[in-house]
Structure 1
Amino acid sequence: MVTLGFLATIAVGTILLSLPIATEGARATFVEALFTATSATCVTGLVVTDTAVFWSGFGEAVIAVLIQIGGLGVMTLASLLGILLTRRLDLSSRLVAAASTRSVGLGDVRGVLTRVIKIAVVVEGICAVILVARFAITYDMPWGTALWQGAFHAISAYNNAGFSLFSDSLMGFVGDPWVSLPISFAVIVGGIGLPVIAEVARALRARRRPRRWSTHTRITLWMTAVLLVGSTLFFLAAEGDNTATMASLSPGDKILSAFTQAVMPRTAGFNSLDTSQMHHETWLGTIILMFIGAGSAGTAGGIKVTTFAVLGVVIWSELRGEPDANIFDRRIAPATQRQALTVALLGVAIIIVPTLWITATTPGISVAEILFEVTSAFTTTGLSTGITADLPWFNQLALVPLMFVGRLGPITLGAALALRSRQRLYRMPESAPIIG
């Protein structure tokens, strides 16, 4: 049901973006409409046209709606609509809503759905208000234009979509904290995930110490902090002397731009520096950050920080010869370890195969650029070295299922693995193949 819901949304979006009213000039081709609708619904941000120039106000509104639907989840909105119309959810709808929001208990599904909307409205509202005021007062935009720009970018930021109505994304605001920081804040909150946000809110009201928070919440928050600090330092070191990106900025602007760039590989897709002019080692570091992604049950993609942390703990425990993988005074269940390994290895395979195909069929574009683009599509990030529009139409179409699998695959796979766990009444004889 979740898969069909997203497919139906993409189909409707493709039809709407194919209409003459959706563009400023020539009518969008099928590939342009399908690619944009998929990128918006899967909150990716990759584009084959200049969003600010190619699409009309109607087209931009369609993209914003698709982003909101894709970020919150098709089944989340469908379930809320069902509650409004019938004031109840049947068992099958509760099961699907629980799976799509990663809420295992059925009793709190309605409360979870309500919190999803409340958090989205609050975060997007705060971000939009700051952006509207900044655009209107500092950049002399008409208030109507500023209102649309602020609302669009707030929706795009919270849902980790990365679509921008500026042709150069956030490069024109590289030194403006009143634009970069609100957008970064919305990206971080959207990427952390509802379970963490809800638990932290309850813990703060109950004045419960962080040591008593759940393992999932502690892993997510710790990994988020470590990745943000580490990647900020990484961008400062890698791009600080690059005359095409950061070298000419003041020390304060360098720190701000490095932090903004550190936030965006969490699968947001905005860029305040020219990605195409970055060093190759910066591309490699960004690819790793995109692959890791952000928190589970949020609007971000990637394999998720919890998956990455679990794999790290398992490796460290194996190297030390410990029988169990422990973190924060808790033992990680063997089923969780298998799930993390499965999601990570499938992610690697899904990235490698299209990279080989596009490299073989698109001469003249480096492997590094293609790997960056494919990883960005699968992790629903949207950062680009600028080659998306230059790819042949059939390779642009090859990125479409990548974005779809990236938005649904890891989530659906993780839920399926967790809910399909079962006990057998027998065990096979043990064997120990040589490893390594």
Structure 2
Amino acid sequence: MTGTGAVAINPATRVLRRGAGWVGDLTRRSPARAAIAIFVVAGLGFTLLLRLPAAAADGRATPWADAVFTAVSAITVTGLTSVDTAEHWSAYGKVVILLAIQTGGLGIVTVALLLARAVTRRLGLGSRLFAQQAIGAPQLGEVKDLLRIVVVTTFVIEGAIAIALAPSFITAEGWARGAWSSVFYAVSAFNNAGFSVHAGGVAAFGHHPGILIPLTVAVLIGSLGFPVYLNLLHARWTRKRWTLHTKLTLITTGILFVVGAAGWAVTEWGNRATIGDLPVAERVGNALFASAMMRSGGFAMIDPADSTSTTLLLTDALMFVGGGSVSTAGGIKVTTLAVLFLAIVAEARGVPHVTAAGRTIATGVLRVAISVTFLGATLVLGGAGLITLVSDAPLDRILFEVISAFATCGLSVGLSAELGPFGMYVLSALMLVGRVGPIALATSLSVRRRNIRFQLPEERPIVG
């Protein structure tokens, strides 16, 4: 004690309070910049952990470029790797990767807010505004509910997936290793990370539906997004009470899943390097699995490098779209695609407003959708251009790897392992930007919004 009634403050608590104060101050000034800063700091922390000699199977420190690449890939739940996860990393290194995936999946933002609340015993207005933008709460009053649902739902679903995987893995690998594999793949699949602790990835389980089906279900559930979970829980699964966001997410996800499976099956059906020699039932199963993974899952039953050029193009498109907003998936999001498609339909019909399911979509939402799509395409173009400076690989391979990084998908044609440090840092930056979101990056770089009290004369330039 330092005086009457005074209590000495633990140094660790003091550091946490200062960190919470820093988070609160940054969130008040720029929520988007706070999100980016927190992801960068977390990536740095996990990089240092992976740099330790104990993290590598051979006991030697991993090169900086590989450590940074793996840490960023895990924290952004991407799944791209420059070294073989199963062979390069020790048991400790794999645990670090698992923790990074879980942290990234929960959302660094969510973790930071929960830590701040644990230290300060409250969630202030600035933090609530930050959370509202970061995790998609429609109203400030729902932020606390959504934070709780994010954490509880994540662990419940991961636990259920791990239980579903356990019998198959335990039968094949024994209790200890089987339980570890079940937990790792449950976390990796639900968070759409695509990391594998087996040499050759999940291709080794190509004839095991007890593993492939739970992985597919986990990836699809994880790609829907937490706002959808919140709405379904509040609506008690009553369709009339579903929000427009929930309807657009579920419908577009279903359509893309069917289209992706059909397209992949058609383009790969006769390809003997992939599924051409398999029985019909296995070809269909591979197509369904591939469709679920192409938009963000990152697991692969076949080597994407063996796919046809048409399949790679189809995969590029689906990866770029990604999954649901505020989900563990990446890309420009399925609701963005849905809004743009509805705008095209409205324009073709000569309707002045964009509508869906008995609701009018705000003009501001359309502007955001256009901005996200254009900025995403610009980032992919810029990233591909930089990679061409240091790689002689064909453009289709470069474009595939770049889109996979930006969309935090994790599918790879092997280019990540072939690039030098510069190329790996470019892909790492794309993964980071893709996880935070193009619109968050645009917001973080923009000046404070101004209220304009006048309107300039309107004119319509010729478009098209």
Give the TM bin, normalised by the shorter chain: over 0.9
Q: Deviations over 1:41-82 (max 9, x none)?
A: 011110000000000010000001011111111121122233
Match among 125, 142, 166 for residue 108 of structure 1: 142
| 1:17-39 CA-partner distances (Å, limit 9, x unpaired) | 00000001142000010110000
Counterpart position of 1:143? 175
Equivalent position of 1:277 in the other structure: 306
d(CA) in 1 for partners of 2:112, 2:346: 43
Alignment partners' CA distance in 2, 1:423 and 1:256:
54
Change over 3 Å in CA distance of 1:422–1:123 after alignment to 2: farther
1:40 — aligned with what? 74
Task: Note if 1:173 corresponds to 2:205.
Answer: yes
Instruction: Pick from 142, 154, 169 the counterpart of residue 186 of structure 2.
Output: 154
CA displacement, residues 293-341 of structure 1 (integer Å, 9 cap, x when unaligned): 1100111100000000111111122122221122112221111111100
The 8 Å contact of residues 343 and 413 in structure 1, kept in 2 or not, is answered as no
Q: Out of 156, 163, 167, which is 1:133 matched to?
A: 167
In structure 2, the partner of 1:225 is 254
Moved more, 318-327 or 30-39: 318-327
Identity %: 39
Question: 1:81-118 deviations in whole A, cap 9, x for unaligned?
Answer: 33344432222222222222111422222211110011
Find the counterpart in structure 2 of residue 119 from structure 1: 153
Question: What's the secondary structure of 2:177's corresponding residue?
Answer: helix
Return the offset for 1:386.
Answer: 1.1
2:113 maps to a residue whose letter is: S
Q: Residues 431 and 344 of structure 1: is their aligned pair in 2 closer, same or farther, counting only changes over 3 Å?
A: same
Q: 1:15 to 1:415 in 2, by over 3 A?
A: same
CA spacing shift, 1:415–1:107, aligned 2, 3 Å: farther
Deviation at 1:211, TM superposition (A): 4.0
Instruction: Give, in whole Å, the separation in 1 of the partners of 2:132 and 2:107.
Output: 12
**Counterpart residue number, 1:354:** 383
1:153-195 deviation line (CA, Å, top 9, x unaligned): 1111111111111222211122322111111111111110011
Distance 1:367 1:423 in 2: 45
Q: Which residue of 2 aligns with 1:343?
A: 372
Query: Hey, what's the Cα distance between the residues in 2 that align with 1:415 and 1:304?
Result: 17
Look up the match of 1:242: 271
The partner residue of 1:20 within 53, 56, 67 is 53
Query: 1:321 corresponds to which residue?
Result: 350
**Cα gap change, 1:226 to 1:421, in 2 (>3 Å):** farther
Structure 1: which amino acid aligns with 2:123?
L
State which structure, 1 or 2, has the greater radius of gyration over its C-alpha atoms: 2
Of 44, 54, 63 in structure 2, the residue corresponding to residue 29 of structure 1 is 63
1:59, 1:11 → 2: CA distance? 15
Counterpart for residue 19 of structure 2 = none
* Separation (CA, whole Å) in 1 of partners of 2:98 and 2:63: 20
CA distance in structure 2 between the aligned counterparts of 1:289 and 1:402, rounded to whole angstroms:
17
Deviation for aligned residue 1:393: 1.9
Matched residue SS, 1:145: helix
Residue 371 of structure 1, aligned match among 393, 399, 408: 399
Unaligned runs of 5+ in 2: 1-33
Q: State the distance in 1 between where 2:229 and 2:437 align.
A: 23
Equivalent residue for 1:8?
Answer: 41
Q: 1:44 to 1:77 in 2, by over 3 A?
A: same
* Corresponding residue number in structure 2 for 1:72: 106
Q: Check the 8 A contact 1:174/1:273 in 2, yes or no.
A: no
Instruction: Kindly state the Cα deviation for residue 421 of structure 1 after the two structures are TM-superposed.
Output: 7.3
What is the aligned residue count?
Answer: 430
Alignment counterpart, residue 191 of structure 1, candidates 223, 238, 241? 223
CA shift, 1:255, in A, is 1.6
State TM-score, norm by structure 1.
0.94
Distance 1:277 1:342 in 2: 34
Alignment partner of 1:164 is 2:196:
yes
Matched residue of 2:72: which SS?
helix
Q: For residue 157 of structure 2, what is the amino acid of its counterpart?
A: V
Question: Displacement, 1:416?
Answer: 7.4
Stretch moving more, 240-249 or 398-407 = 240-249
CA distance in 1, matches of 2:292, 2:100: 23
The range that moved more, 80-89 or 105-114, is 80-89
> Which secondary structure state, in structure 2, belongs to the residue aligned with residue 390 of structure 1?
coil
- Aligned equivalents of 1:87, 1:393: Cα separation in 2: 43
Identify unmatched segments of 5+ residues in structure 1: none
The alignment's C-alpha RMSD in Å is: 1.9
